[in-house]
């Protein structure tokens, strides 16, 4: 039997993160975000877009981390702290951006058609 050249655990985790990111970004299923309520001051669209984008970025990084861990026979020791730091910085950026960024282009833009038909 030949050895695996990837980590099945991190591959499954990465694909799961991609699926959750897709559900948040495209379908706006914010019930997947722990602690978020519709009555919060942050809009549902902003949370869905920002969290979905973060998970869509973290999924492939997780898969690559697993591949590098197996490829270089390092276990968690060499790449683990770098991966953990990257994920933690991403969460800090996500929380900061969702709570402070109020630019109009951050939200999902309305279509030109809906603006012209409201006359």
The better pLDDT of the pair 118, 37 is held by 37
Q: What is the pLDDT of residue 5?
A: 76
| Residue 87 pLDDT exceeds 90 | yes
Do residues 90 and 54 make contact, with C-beta atoms less than 8 angstroms apart?
A: yes
- Residues 34-78 pLDDT 10s: 888 876 678 888 889 999 999 999 999 999 988 888 888 777 777
Taken in order 71, 72, 75, 77, the sign of the CA dihedral is negative
Q: pTM of the full predicted structure? A: 0.77
């Amino acid at each position: 039997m030949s050895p695996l050249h990837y980590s099945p655990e991190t591959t499954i985790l990465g694909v799961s993160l991609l699926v959750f990111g897709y559900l948040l970004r495209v379908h706006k299923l914010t019930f997947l975000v722990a602690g978020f309520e519709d009555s919060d001051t942050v809009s549902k669209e902003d949370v869905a877009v920002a969290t979905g984008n973060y998970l869509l970025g973290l999924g492939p990084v997780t898969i690559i981390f697993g591949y590098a861990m197996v490829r270089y026979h390092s276990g968690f020791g060499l790449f683990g702290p770098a991966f953990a730091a990257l994920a933690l910085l991403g969460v800090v950026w996500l929380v900061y951006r969702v709570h402070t960024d109020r630019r109009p282009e951050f939200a999902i833009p309305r279509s030109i058609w809906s603006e012209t038909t409201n006359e």
